Amino acid sequence: MSTSPGRADVARSVAGRRRALWLGGLGFAALLLASAGVRAACDGPQVRPAQAAIASAHPLATEAGLKILDAGGNAFDAAVAVTAALAVVEPYGSGFGGGGFWLLHRAHDCHETMLDGRERAPLAAHRDLFLDDAGQFVPESALVGPLSAGIPGTPAGLVQLAEGYGRLPLAQTLAPAVGLARDGFDIGDGYRRVAAWRLSALRASPAGAAQFLVDDEVPPRGHRLRQPDLADTLERLASGGHAGFYAGETAERLVSGVRAAGGIWTLEDLAEYRAVEREPIVAQFRGWRLVSAAPPSSGGVLLVQILNMLSAIEPQPESDTQRVHALTETMRRAYRDRARYLGDPDHVEMPIERLTHPHYAAGLIRDFDPTRATPSTTPETDVPASEGRDTTHFSILDREGNRVAATLSINYPFGSGFVPPGTGVLLNDEMDDFSAQPGVANAYGLVGGEANAIAPGKRMLSSMSPTFLESSETVAILGTPGGSRIITMVLQGVLGAVDGVPLEDWIARPRIHHQYLPDRLEFESGALSPAEQRDLTAMGHRLELLIRPIGDMQAILWDRANGQVKAASDPRGAGHAEVR
């Protein structure tokens, strides 16, 4: 790894003061140019990592992926196995009733793509779906029960991943998940905590309660969770491919279960669903190449906007307080644009090139005052701290140099709570990620406008940000769950990696977050010193200490110079990273 003076400074600050690691040596002055692309520079002899690595949010999912690598599968086969295993052992975070994004790098031709398995609104959906007779948004209807569920994309994504990029059959890569669903696994404390939080949503669905609760209550410690219906559904997917889920027995049970409980899905919704490959957002920052999620995720665009703004600030901040202030102000401005411009690229025109251009960032930051916070215009909303049990992330590197960063979700923990009888498939409540009413916040406090309004067949805007970061010496693969905070957490990971902070430190360090509305600078315990809190408050920032840690980052670092591979799982979660 480079030992430029800036990096050495940061490394020293790591040893001496772990607190505000992400502040160190930002060196904002580098110019960032954004462009979309699907092919990384592939010139010169291709170096291969000495080892493979997997980091995921659950040890059993990491084990499932390693088993597939050991059986001769590549990173893409392992990604199928990890995705499916996470759906079984972390049913509150992601699943076959949900969706997500798989960011792929194929080593032999440096092909890069984002596999978009994001959910779609049912064809019978309309922009006022969640408004009452008085035209008011009814949040509960977008979060609980089958009306809140988009058409799932994860099964289609896995079929496409296996057929387009893997070398093993689905029957083999799904086998670990089938075993975990049929034989069961012991639930952990995280499961019990979020099951208690979503108890009423699960109780509202008889099949959901039967699958995830015991006698309608949170299962006791040590409970072995068996999901035989889900195992059967996975076997139909393994043998039938796309049609094994989106047609036939599974589709019929999904649709009849949803409709019997008041939902609006049709067989046509399922038959029409396809995962889509999209060009990732690609940019350069301080000699590093950033590759991240494209719309319908807002992640890549906002990451580039923030990095561009940081580069444009003159003079560069010097004190830690000034750096937090600068970072906060760039986050604020990027999230304002998220609400204004972003949505499903198949439904709305978005000025992506303009939004990610350095000149635009310079304009955005023109009213930046180094001594004062720029107020956001309110309506205030409550934003629950997403501790990272909604949504999940995993990162994979194989010995050929193939990479996967995947972030997957069913939205809120345990999604809609609704399981169509006889499927074992817990449905998402991703419809809440649409802007149900302009200017009215969703469960994560995010507001939106026309670009993200509900429409038939439209994908809802996401914050999921699976990301690659690459210099001539180093490759990083990273991502995290955490709702609207995903983007700023990945940003702080990117800044840590660029600054040469050791992997285990940039994963663990306390984080901050601002998302325009509500107008609050949120911080984890230890992120800001008492003096910084005082100074930032005096500058006009409204500070809020998060009562729970946020995120569950899973990351891999490959040092191409010496071949060394490292992997780390966020100490905030219960995941497992392994190099072998």
Q: Would you count residue 233 as binding ligand GLY (CB under 6 A)?
A: no
User: Cβ closer to ligand GLY: 145 or 241?
Assistant: 145
CA distance 117 to 238: 17
Count of residues interacting with ligand GLY (CB under 6 A): 9
Rounded least distance, CB 424 to ligand GLY, Å: 21
Residue 35 host element (H or E): strand 34-36
CA neighbor of 343 nearest in space, from 485, 455, 486: 455
Active-site amino acid positions:
391
> In the complex, what is the shortest distance from the CB of residue 284 to ligand GLY, in angstroms, rounded to a whole number?
26
Task: Please identify which residue in 463, 474, 480, 515 interacts with ligand GLY, judged by CB under 6 A.
Answer: 463
Three-class secondary structure of residue 204 per DSSP: coil
Calculated CA dihedral for residues 35, 40, 44, 45, nearest 10 degrees? 160
Instruction: Name the minimum Å distance from CB 444 to ligand GLY.
Output: 7
Residue 411 binds ligand GLY (CB under 6 A):
yes
Question: Per rule CB under 6 A, is residue 113 in the interface with ligand GLY?
Answer: no
Distance CA 254, CA 425 (A): 8
Distance from C-alpha of 212 to C-alpha of 559, rounded to nearest angstrom:
42
Binding string, 431-450, against ligand GLY, x = CB under 6 A?
--x-----------------
What is the closest distance, in whole angstroms, from the C-beta atom of residue 411 to ligand GLY in the complex? 4
- 409 sits near ligand GLY (criterion: CB under 6 A): yes
Looking at the chain, the number of H-run helices and the number of E-run strands are 20, 19
Pairing label, strands 521-523, 543-545? parallel
Tell me the chain's radius of gyration from C-alpha atoms.
22
**Nearest to ligand GLY of 411, 492 (CB atom):** 411
* Residue of the chain from 13, 154, 211, 391 that contacts ligand GLY (CB under 6 A): 391
Residues pairing with 24 in the sheet = none
Task: Consult the annotation and say whether 471 binds a ligand.
Answer: no
410 in a labelled binding site: yes
According to the annotation, is 363 in a ligand binding site?
Answer: no
Do the annotations mark residue 133 as ligand-binding?
Answer: no
In the complex, the smallest distance separating the C-beta of residue 433 from ligand GLY, rounded to whole angstroms, is: 5
Residue count of the chain, please give it. 580
Amino acid at 8: A
Residues 413-432 that bind ligand GLY (CB under 6 A): 430
DSSP of 314-335: SSPP-SHHHHHHHHHHHHHHHH
Stretch that binds ligand GLY, among 123-131, 260-268, 273-281, 461-469 (CB under 6 A): 461-469
Our CB check for ligand GLY shows the closer of 409 and 435 to be 409
- Parallel, antiparallel or unpaired: strands 565-569 and 554-559: antiparallel
Of 91 and 483, CB closest to ligand GLY: 483
Q: Which is nearer to ligand GLY, 288 or 414 (CB)?
A: 414
Q: Supply the minimum distance, in Å, between the C-beta of residue 536 and ligand GLY.
A: 27
- Binding site annotation covers 299? no
- The 3-state DSSP class for residue 21 equals helix
Count of CB atoms within 10 A of residue 412's CB? 29
Closer to ligand GLY by Cβ: residue 7 or 459 = 459
**Start-to-end C-alpha separation, the chain:** 21
Of 235-243, 456-464, 501-509, 553-561, the window that binds ligand GLY (rule: CB under 6 A) is 456-464
Distance CA 379, CA 447 (A): 10
Nearer to ligand GLY, 297 or 395 (CB): 297
Q: Is 98 annotated as a binding residue?
A: no
569 marked as binding residue: no
Q: Is 462 in the site for ligand GLY (CB under 6 A)?
A: yes
Q: How far is CA 445 from CA 391, 467, 519, 543, in A?
A: 17, 24, 10, 16
Minimum Å gap between C-beta 306 and ligand GLY is 17
φ/ψ of residue 239, rounded to 5:
-85, -30
**Least separation, in Å, of the C-beta of 461 and ligand GLY?**
8
Task: Give the nearer residue to ligand GLY in terms of CB position, either 269 or 430.
Answer: 430
Structure tokens at 42: 């592939």
Looking at residues 477 to 516 of the shown chain, list those that interact with ligand GLY (rule: CB under 6 A).
483
The answer to whether residue 337 forms part of the interface with ligand GLY (CB under 6 A) is no
The side-by-side arrangement of strands in the sheet containing 53-56 is 276-278, 111-117, 99-106, 403-409, 392-397, 53-56, 576-579
Q: Which residues pair with 234 in a beta bridge?
A: none
Q: Is 395 annotated as a binding residue?
A: no
Which residues are known binding-site members for L-glutamate?
A: 118, 409-411, 433, 462-463, 483
Bind-site residues: 118, 409-411, 433, 462-463, 483
Residues of this chain that interact with ligand GLY (CB under 6 A) are 391, 409, 411, 430, 433, 462-464, 483
